[in-house]
Copies of this chain bind each other. A is one copy, B any other.
Amino acid sequence: MPVSKKPNGTIRMRDVAERAQVSRMTVSRALNRPETVNEVLRNRVLEAVQDLGYVHNHLARSLSSRRSNVIGLVLPSLENSIFSQTVKGISDVLRPLGYHLMVAESSDDPEDEERVIAAFLAQRVGGLILHSTNHSANAVRMLKASDTPVVENGDFPVDPVDMVVSYSNRAAAKAMTLHLARLGYKRIVFAGLAANPRASQRQLGFLDALAEIGQKQDAKLSVAVSRGFGGGTEAISFIDANIPDADALFCAGDVLAVGALFECDRRGWAVPGRLAIASFDDLDLMRHVSPALTSLRLPRYEIGRRSAQMILDRIEERTMPVTTVDLGFEIVQRASS
């Protein structure tokens, strides 16, 4: 069968219909719900699609059908590999059902996030997954007005936009702090990123734990540091200068903990002899440094799966789903504590 390519202009459904000698609707049906079309015609259509190299126009389809097979995901940052499991969880649910994932970045800034959300809504995505729980008022208004299914991920918001799938940063941080206390550490220091809403919740959890074990909530036991490995260095310097009797450091961030470990190495501080270290997220790296780092394992993959599932349930009106899911966390005890 000779393949004749149209020299200019895109191939439209109408062209396929002509070639297959059927109506446009038959082509549309053969593409969207093949089982509703007679086999003979269906094959004729599919052949014409091949011959012409036709690419379905989802713009027109979505406009006309008022539904979209694109789901948007807004991540604080693409720098951090902690989200890759979540992305995988989402994709694994979406792909078999013919949906597609598009990712954008908010830089953890509500204004940037608003822009990104606006773009997704303008694109009329079928659903939105936000790995963040504090949004600009405007963003919330747009989301609610749009009637788009939304799942929030990074924590449990006080006032959810719609659905939520997460673990509790506060509860997790509290649990890890209690774990360290149980191991016998007496003077635990908390280090978190400055101006990060999730880090703040983690600090609250840290304070909760101190209260529970009857230790006075000394504000001096918390330090805000910068992003990246350097933040870990800062944490160690802080301890050296201000809390020399500290015997454990709980870093509310994976990279921070590794940075701290490197700095201890440089200073010749034994870990955990001189200082125990625990971290908040169980990156692959945590297992490989030495000593391996004690850390909190979060259900990143499952968060992705459930989020995607809940969005799809809503889109396909299967259920009026539960709106908040707590997926918990797990403490992984290793050599560093």
The answer for the CA separation of A119 and B77 in the assembled complex, in Å, is 24
* A81: B residues at CB distance < 8 A: 78-81
* A59: B residues at CB distance < 8 A: 59, 62-63, 68, 123-124
- At the interface, yes or no: A317 with Cβ under 8 Å from chain B? no
* A185: B residues at CB distance < 8 A: none
Closest to A72 in B: B102
**What is the CB-to-nearest-CB distance from A56 to chain B, in angstroms, rounded to a whole number?**
5
Taking each of A102, A121, A142, which has the highest tally of chain B beta carbons within 10 Å of its own beta carbon?
A102
**What is the CB-to-nearest-CB distance from A64 to chain B, in angstroms, rounded to a whole number?**
9
| B53→A141 contact, CB < 8 A | yes
* A124: B residues at CB distance < 8 A: 57-59
Closest to A232 in B: B288
- At the interface, yes or no: A250 with Cβ under 8 Å from chain B? no
| B55→A122 contact, CB < 8 A | yes
Binds B, one of A168-176, A201-209, A259-267, A325-333: A259-267
Contact code string A92-112 (vs B, CB < 8 Å = 1, else 0):
000100001111110000000
- At the interface, yes or no: A166 with Cβ under 8 Å from chain B? no
Between A and B, 10 residue pairs with Cβ closer than 8 Å are A10-B147, A55-B122, A55-B142, A58-B119, A78-B83, A81-B81, A91-B105, A103-B104, A228-B284, A259-B288
